[in-house]
Amino acid sequence: MIRNPMKVAFGTMTVTKKSKDMVRRILDSGRVSCGYYVREFEKRFARLIATRQAVAVSSGTDADALALAIFYDFGAKRNDEVIVPALSFVATGNAVLQAGFKPVFVDIDPKTLNIDTDLIERAVTKKTRAIMPVHLMGKPAAMDEINHIARKHQLFVVEDAAEAHGAMYKGRHVGTLGDLGAFSLYVAHIITSIEGGMVVTERKDFAEILRSLRSHGRACKCEQCVVNIASASCPKRFQYGAGEDMRFLFERIGFSAKMNEIEAAVGLGNLGIYKKILERRRRNLLYLMKRFKKNEEFFYSIEEESYEKIGPHAFPVVVRRGAPFRRQDLVCFLTQNNIDSRSLFSSMPTQCSGFSFLGHRYGDFPAAEYIGENGLHIGVHQDLGVKHLDYILATFTKFIKKFTK
């Protein structure tokens, strides 16, 4: 084992003094459920990415699922279909099923790691209701082509932007390019509330349904609940008649997916330092992308096009065909040298056994399966500096020399 004091963790999180002060005030108030601070977080998140509506939920997976569940109000039926890329974190496929739909998987473009738009139309049927592209590793999916297909077939588009904070596509924030965008606020992401998610949209009616869905499908769907923020009397409470408390009228099948005030406080603090975190992560990602090209005989990564900015979630690495080593050899070497890494996800339908009931066989999604067996990603978070990045690059050089002497 190579001994070196340098350690490169995969992720980090920053809890600001502002957040800690807010948490103390919230705990002292005794009002910790979804209320004032959640709404403030929603408003500021919406302003940040230039959209009209943002609804906070309990996880990125719930953000996907609730965004899809809106469509029951617009004619969708249980077991209708949602087209998704075969390669993603398993939450993408899970969310489709949790929303009551069937995921229809499409292979990916191995260069971008995103859904192959040339294959989407083959997957469209009479039961298709939506396309849910994933901006994997913060690399924007080909939204012009996806939206064109969606318009042609009268489909909704839900962007899974879980990892794509800060990503831009032709001058617009990802998450604002379809009908809805779903973000994860998990601890390792650029904006975090520890756990949590956010759904964004331009449509007020979608936002109202989301507020109902996150609270069991209640009739209550005001932008800010008077009862939740001040224990005040709600003038709408009995609008359906005496004794008909609208808080116990349920208009649709819903979820229990509210964000709490403490999570919102952490998120608000993160928004205050968002630009600084984004700049540091972008610097780290671009530094690795540029200097890693010397290893392109054996590896490749994503590239940034002129019309986009990649959201700097992590640095993906894929072992090329014919390389004299396996991914597991590389992972072990990185681990021995104190560099943490993660697999670059899997082909959900053929490499995640939970989806076996859908009947897909290995080989149905060759590009996704290849990435699932040969891809990994490394952190580029804000606590890393140039010395860490140079150490990562030097460790890859040492690894390659082991196999090319």
CATH of 274-404, one of 3.40.50.300, 1.25.40.10, 3.90.1150.10, 3.30.930.10: 3.90.1150.10
Give the pLDDT band of residue 1 (cuts 50, 70, 90). very low
pLDDT digits (tens, 9 = 90+) for 85-120: 999 999 999 999 999 999 999 999 999 999 999 999
Chain-centre distance for alpha carbon 167: 11
DSSP H helices, 339-404, are 348-351, 366-374, 386-404
Give the pLDDT band of residue 166 (cuts 50, 70, 90). very high
pLDDT digits (tens, 9 = 90+) for 11-57: 998 899 999 999 999 999 988 988 899 999 999 999 999 999 999 99
Model confidence, pTM: 0.93
Single out the residue of 167, 132, 131 nearest to residue 149, CA to CA: 131
Q: Which of 12-26, 231-245, 266-280, 343-357 has the lowest mean pLDDT?
A: 231-245
pLDDT of residue 233: 63
pLDDT digits (tens, 9 = 90+) for 282-314: 999 999 999 999 999 999 999 999 999 999 999
Q: What residues have CB less than 8 Å from 310, skipping those under 6 apart?
A: 137, 138, 139, 140, 167, 285, 302, 304
Give the pLDDT band of residue 2 (cuts 50, 70, 90). very low
pLDDT of residue 249: 81
Q: Are 17-272 and 274-404 equal in CATH topology?
A: no
Single out the residue of 55, 119, 62 nearest to residue 95, CA to CA: 62
Nearest-5° angle of CA 252, CA 255, CA 257? 140
Mean pLDDT across 345-357: 98
Q: Report the alpha-carbon distance of residue 371 to residue 319 in Å, rounded.
A: 9
| Confidence check: pLDDT of 181 > 80 | yes
Mean pLDDT across 386-391: 98
How is the chain split into domains, by residue range? Answer: 17-272, 274-404
Average pLDDT, the chain: 94
Mark 223-237 as b/e (b = at least 16 C-beta within 10 Å). Answer: eebeebbeeeebeee
Query: Which class does domain 17-272 fall in?
Result: alpha beta
pLDDT digits (tens, 9 = 90+) for 182-238: 999 999 899 999 999 999 999 999 999 999 999 999 986 666 665 555 555 666 666
Question: Which residues are marked as active site?
Answer: 189
Residue 125, judged by CB atoms within 10 A of its CB (0-12, 13-18, 19+), counts as exposed
